[in-house]
Structures are given as structure tokens and as C-alpha cells.
Structure 1
Amino acid sequence: MTERNDDHGGAFAAALRAAISERGITLARLQRRLVDDGNPVSMATLSYWRSGARQPEGAQSLSVVEGLEDHLGMNRGQLTSLLGPSARLGPLAPPRLPFDEVRELRETAETLTALRAATQDALRDLSTQVTAFVGRDGAVESITMRSLVQATKGAIAEIPLIDVAPVETDVMSEISDVIGGRVDREYLHPGGLLSGVVIALDEPITTGATTLFEFTERFPAGYPPRQSVWHATSRPARETLIWVRFHPDAPPTWCEEYCETSDEYVTAMRSVAHGAVHVAKHGFGPGVLGIRWGYDE
């Protein structure tokens, strides 16, 4: 499976979404039927295929696609014909999920080391509110994040933040308008996928104390277009809220929320009402909560 952004990849995803919608079947039920047929595939993989972020590659994936055609009442070849010739060249790059691959775990540790920042095992995420503004081109222009955190032991004077780019790049996102702290250090990993910053708090907190900070993340020219917003937390959080606001001239064709933990991967298609969509969870974590969207031609 590899990332695809060409016409074939978009046509495949659009046809798959339409077939699932017309059949009235959930992605979870479809996944169970495929597994029962001897076509093992994860919910995450199906979700990425449906969103168009990636498309099937290799013999095993093509077998799954044929199973999809059967269970969705489609003619054989109806989906596979939309994949393009590269799908028959065998496996290429592996799928990539936030904080779920060996490379990203390793590079996260390397980035924290370069930033001289320890992992935040003494920090509790009480409330995080993320507001994303999508531009006319359908990509995120800026993200404002407000977070209430608590020290569970010792003293905390700074907070590291890790960003995972959609694809490898030598351009970092920019953190500005920090309230409750300041950007003290930043680092772009040589691999081009991860970067990080350290926010030094205005006032260090000790066991039981809380602090509230806010910042805005912007994506300068050259940064790969981002059509997703997500928040990762390493322990249960009281409240996690993600709100995506679309440009009035760029409502998405489709929108999907996803929730990934060590035990499951759950997705749900969402409608965009009045130019915005949000997802809220209480007691969520550890895991990744996000919203992604796209545009059919």
C-alpha cells in the first residue's frame, strides 16, 4: 500500500465510498466479512483506502479488493480497474499511521533527544481544544490549540510538541502567538517526517498544579498540503475537542472522523454542516483522535 494522489487513486476511493454508501454497510462489518473470507485487512487500511489517502498495492491487497467487490455487489474488476498499473507492481512503501510505526517511534525518541526534552510521563492532559481553519485550496491554513495540563509528580517547566508531516519535507510548520509560554527550541528531524518544538512555560508547575497554554500553528509555503487534523495523547484525557472550519468556497466532498487506540481503530463518515465539523471525546486516551477530508473531481 502506498500514498496516492493521482486520478486513479481518487477514482478508486470515490467508487469505494459510493458502493459502501449504496450498500448501507458499516466499515466494521465489511472488515469482519473480509476477514471471515480469508482476506485479513485492518480497519485502518480500509479507512485509508476509502478516504483516498492511500490505495491498495500488492497481491494480498488486490485479493482484498476483489472481496470488496463481492461483498458490495459490484462486478469483478469494477474497483481493480481504477487502481492503475502501479498496483500490480507489488508492495511499495508501507502504510503510515501517526505514532504507530517503528520509524516514527524511533524518530520521535531521536527528536526528543535532539530537543533535550524528556517524554512527558509526569504530565496529565486534562483538556485539549484544537481549532483548524481550512483554506480555499482545501488544505489546513492554521491550527489553534488550547491545552490544560496537570503535573502528576515533580516539577514541569517545559512541554515538547511533536508534529508528523503528511509526507517527508524540509519545511517545518511555524508555532506562534504562544500564550502561557514561549517557543524555546525547535528541531526538524533529518528524515523530514517529524519535527518538534519545546514550549517553556511562563510558570513551572509542581505536583497537582495545572497550567493553561495556547498557540497557533501555521503551514508556510512548501509545507505539504494537510487535509487532516489529529491529536495524540499518551494517557486518558478528561476532554478532547477537534473543530474543523472550512472555507466557504471549499466544502469537502467527504469527511471522516477516526479514533485509534492500541485495541481498535474506529471510523465514521461525517457530514459538514454550516461549513464546520467537530468531534469531542471524554476520557479518551491513550490514542489518536482525528478528522480528515477530501475532494472528488
Structure 2
Amino acid sequence: MPKESVDSHTENTDPDVAAALAQGPFHTALRAAIHARGLGLDRLRHRLLARDLNVSTTSLSYWQHGRTQPEHPKSIEAVAALEEILNLPNGSLRSLLGPRRARGPRSLRVKQRRPEAVIGGGVAMKELCDRLPAAREHNLDVVTEQVTATIDKDGRDAGHTVTMLVRARRNNVDRHIAMFRGDPGCDIESVRVLAHRDCVVGRIARHPQEPMLLAEILFGVTLDQNDTHLMEFEIVDGTGDRAQCYGHGFRYPVEHYTLQVRFDPEQLPRRVFRFAQSRLGTDLHETGSVVINNWMTAQISQSRVEPGALGIGWEW
């Protein structure tokens, strides 16, 4: 587009939106533009569908809250369409995305085993890991992990219970570091970590600005190489905004993983799906539908999980 056209379009842009486009970041500018146009995410999704661009409301919500960022070519194409739909200058949102980041299982396995890279959170997670350096160590293999997440009657993530069977990779291993990142609006100071079976909770590091924490889960015994330990703990939340997915990041292979998401009978989603990511914080890639059973539970189960992220998402 000629420079004159871009400048003219900018003059007609809401002042708050223009400031957000000038300063960034991407999610702030997108959120301001959506608010200024007064369009709901469902309407945006349908306008994108009319252009043969299938972007879920979950992805749109996460884009505008900074939890994920468009990276896939189709997602970038959708951002270009959003610029038109939201009456923004051509390229104004895309310019805030910066260069495309390296993605994919191979680069993830080789280069991205740092917690802040796989779990997400960037600098904030790095700062937490600096406070609990054991979070960066690979002292345990996860044999099996079962997570049961609960969504309350208001649609919020009320927390999750984790049952893990771990195996020591070396001698003198006595703890697991649990990592948690809450939904937008989460009050991290109110999040509790509870020990249920064959463990106790040690130190907890909470980030002062971001909804993230690390918690020591102490075994109460010291494992030698190849010893196993079965434990159960819970992270209790219920303070964030209405949830739209539950994802779990894996830095290393896991032999078997099961995730259950339990919904309140009074607040059932209209659609449920499973997704995969190269790491938490990137686009959600739907990999299939999930059925809610008679117990109001959606479940996925997978063996030989590779590094990356898996989860269950839904639309209200």
C-alpha cells in the first residue's frame, strides 16, 4: 500500500488504537482494535470463516491476551484479514509480530529444554527458575502422569490434581519442581499447592507481576538412580478469567500422559477438541474432537509423548 494510503488510514484510526499500534506489543494493539470496533470474538471468527480462514475463538482470545502469538502461515494470513476487518492500516498488526520464531519438534528437542522456552513465560519464568535452579535440572523421568483439571460453574479453572510416577536419573534425588501458569486474571498469590499422597510441599516461588509459580514437591525420601516414586499433589486456583483450554508443556519425553477436564453440569462447552503445540505460548493446532462423557469429563491419553505441549480446548 502506498505511504499516503497508510497515513490516511492511520488518521481515521481511534487514538487509543493508533497509540497501541505505534507502541505494541501485538496483543495490546489487537485487543484495543477489537474493543474499538465493538466486535465479539464469535463475530470475528465468522468473518474470518467467510474468507476461508478457520481461527477458533480460543486462539483469538489468546492472541489478544498475549498467551499465544500467530506464527503459522495461515495464522499470519488471518492477521492480515483482521487488519481489514478491524479497519487498520495494512501491515500494522503484522509488523508487531517480529520475525518468525523457530518451531517444530526437532528444534524443540535440541534447543528448547529450558523451562521458560517450553512452558512459556519468557523472562518471568526465567526469573522464577533463577530462584529455584532445580527447575532447570533433568533429574527425573516421568513414567506416567495423570492430570485432572476442574472447570467451575463460572467457567474458570478451579485447579488440577496431578498423580505422577517418576524415576530417578541419578542418585540423591528428593524432589520434583511443579510449574504453573494461570489464565489471564489469575491472582497468583491466592493459588495454593497442596500435597495429597507421599509428598510434602517445600518452597514456592511466585512471580510478582505474572500469574506463574514454581513449587518444590518433596518426596520425603531420597531416590537412587532408577528408583521410582509415586505421588499426588494439587494446585488450587479459581481466580482467573473464564478458561478456554488446559495445556501441559513437556520438556522431555513422557512414557504415558492422561488429561481429564471436568466441567460443571451447569456450564458445559458447546465444542471440545484436543490440541498440540510446539511449546506453550504458540498457536493451538487442533488435532481432533473430544467427547464429554456422562460424568461431564473430557479426556485424552497418549503414550510416548515427545517434548512440546498437549491439551484440551473448548468453545463456550
Q: Give the TM-score, by structure 2 length.
A: 0.66
> Where do residues 1-16 of structure 1 align in structure 2 (5 Å cutoff)?
1-2=26-27, 4=31, 8-12=39-43, 14-15=45-46
2:236 counterpart of 1:218: yes
What residue number does 2:63 align with?
Answer: 54
Contact 1:144 1:216 (8 Å CA) reproduced: yes
Residue range with higher mean Cα deviation, 126-135 or 48-57: 48-57
What residue number does 1:268 align with?
Answer: 287
Q: 1:121 aligns with which of 138, 161, 184?
A: 138
Q: Classify the secondary structure of the residue corresponding to 2:173.
A: strand
One-letter amino acid of the structure 1 residue matched with residue 299 of structure 2: H
Q: Structure 1 residues 48 and 198, CA, compared in 2 at 3 Å: closer, same or farther?
A: farther
Per the TM alignment, residue 132 of structure 1 is displaced from its structure 2 partner at its CA by: 1.2
Per the TM alignment, residue 106 of structure 1 is displaced from its structure 2 partner at its CA by: 3.7
Contact 2:116 2:123 (8 Å CA) reproduced: no
Q: Give CA deviations for 1:56-105 in whole Å, capped at 9, x if unaligned.
A: 999x999723887xxxxxxxx9x953x47699864668899995489724
Contact 1:12 1:52 (8 Å CA) reproduced: no
Q: Give CA deviations for 1:99-139 in whole Å, capped at 9, x if unaligned.
A: 54897244333212313534231210111101112111112
What residue number does 2:177 align with?
Answer: 160
Q: What's the C-alpha RMSD, in Å, of the aligned pairs?
A: 4.1
Q: Structure 1 residues 230 and 61, CA, compared in 2 at 3 Å: closer, same or farther?
A: closer
One-letter amino acid of the structure 2 residue matched with residue 149 of structure 1: V
Residue range with higher mean Cα deviation, 190-199 or 49-58: 49-58
One-letter amino acid of the structure 2 residue matched with residue 54 of structure 1: W
**Structure 1 vs Structure 2: percent identity of aligned residues?**
18
One-letter amino acid of the structure 1 residue matched with residue 157 of structure 2: V
Q: Classify the secondary structure of the residue corresponding to 1:8.
A: coil
Contact 2:42 2:57 (8 Å CA) reproduced: no
* Separation in 2, partners of 1:12, 1:162: 35
**Structure 2 portions without partners, runs of 5+:** 1-25, 104-114
Q: Classify the secondary structure of the residue corresponding to 1:288.
A: strand
What residue number does 1:182 align with?
Answer: 200
What residue number does 2:127 align with?
Answer: 110
* Separation in 1, partners of 2:242, 2:220: 33
What residue number does 2:307 align with?
Answer: 286
What residue number does 1:71 align with?
Answer: none
What residue number does 1:65 align with?
Answer: 78
What residue number does 1:31 align with?
Answer: none
What residue number does 1:255 align with?
Answer: 272
Per the TM alignment, residue 204 of structure 1 is displaced from its structure 2 partner at its CA by: 1.9
* Separation in 1, partners of 2:75, 2:308: 30
Q: Give CA deviations for 1:251-281 in whole Å, capped at 9, x if unaligned.
A: 112323211237x974235243333211111
* Separation in 1, partners of 2:57, 2:272: 12
Q: Structure 1 residues 120 and 101, CA, compared in 2 at 3 Å: closer, same or farther?
A: closer
Residue range with higher mean Cα deviation, 185-194 or 97-106: 97-106
Q: Give the TM-score, by structure 1 length.
A: 0.70
What residue number does 2:6 align with?
Answer: none
Q: Classify the secondary structure of the residue corresponding to 2:77.
A: helix
Runs of 4+ in 1 over 4 A off after TM superposition: 3-7, 16-20, 46-51, 55-58, 60-63, 83-89, 91-103
**Structure 1 portions without partners, runs of 5+:** 28-45, 69-76
Per the TM alignment, residue 211 of structure 1 is displaced from its structure 2 partner at its CA by: 0.5
Contact 2:177 2:216 (8 Å CA) reproduced: yes
2:274 counterpart of 1:243: no
Q: Structure 1 residues 123 and 19, CA, compared in 2 at 3 Å: closer, same or farther?
A: farther
One-letter amino acid of the structure 1 residue matched with residue 189 of structure 2: V
Q: Classify the secondary structure of the residue corresponding to 1:283.
A: strand
